[in-house]
Structure 1
Amino acid sequence: MTVVQRLDIMKDVALALEYLHHGYSIPIIHCDEKPSNILLDDDMVAHVADFGIARLIGGGDSMTETMTLATVGYMAPEFGMEGSVSTRGEVYSFCIVLLETFTKRKPTDEMFVGEMDLKQWIADSLFLDAAIGEVMGADILGTEEDGDFMSRRDCLSSIMRLALACSAALPGERINMKDAAITLTKIKTKYLKDCGGANS
């Protein structure tokens, strides 16, 4: 699967969550955002599925509480500790799915122990240019001999920075789904422009 295909899938998911959060007077929180709840149709368009534990909440970014827990690794810290559900908590879950889509590492991977988790692994790699190759893998990042290697690396770094902005420890510091969807669109547009429109 190419970088553009992965971007398109995550953009579809972002737009679906944006609609749930901002498209109606009462925000709808999916509460269990994870890869197995994202279905692809014949045209590779992503659809968010399984609303079995979804919640309606009051206006804006207000919270509600639930005893139903989402999947370990994908739920926001405040959801796991307090049962607090909010649009910002769902942004966190989206970020984890975004990271998994591009790194192919689950948040529960056995390599993540102690203080090291998927987010920290990504944050560390962004400070070391060489490490981003280890995070992404050659099948996604490619090699330096590729004509659009630098464009792809810049694109993937932007995606990782977006994911980290979606997963701040405090809910109020996370961006919302509307901004996440806009940012993904901008990243894709810039990438296609930088690599001459190639679907890579």
Structure 2
Amino acid sequence: MLKKKISKILIGTNNTGKLREIKDLLPKNLKIYSTSDFNIKSPVENEKTFEKNSLIKARYFSKKTKMICLSDDSGLEIDALAGAPGVYSARWGGKKGDFVKAMNRVFKELNKKIKNWKTKKIKARFICALTIYGPNRKTINSIGKIEGHISPLMKGKNGFGYDPIFIPNGKKITFGEMKPLQKYKIDHRFKAFKKIKKFF
């Protein structure tokens, strides 16, 4: 295991929403770099699981920078859509990563599958896989999940991605309506991070 705690790290993402959330989870005394500091484009993510795609990113950005890298692969799984969009969550937003387009696609697919779905509880979950990868070190993985259901309408301007259509179990509002601190205490990224924070 680690001889000493990590003191500087690269966050391996070009997604500004993810970068902001991961930064907020990390200890304040950590020296944090982002991929934009090195002007690196993202690698092709062609695996079928969040864990494997997270590893692709962590390994790629680490090798490009010779730094320890923390990468996240996350997405939304909807039971009624056989787990879609899943690992393709970002791709549903098209080349420009337009999540309004992605959320409208969720609604369209549900309309095709289930009559009056808006009156039902459509089970869904957010999953986050985090990977720490670095020169001469053991790869560390963790997974976090939060269960919930799909909101029939997009609500709230906070967060990013599919947050405006996801209502976590036990709550009446979407992630998009929650204050960031409220969301950070319960979401999938927080749950994944809790398992690896001892390394920082």
| TM-score of the aligned structures, taking structure 2 as reference length | 0.29
Q: Which has the higher strand share?
A: 2
Structure with more relative contact order (C-alpha pairs < 8 Å, separation 6 or more): 1
Q: Which has the higher helix share?
A: 1
| TM-score of the aligned structures, taking structure 1 as reference length | 0.29
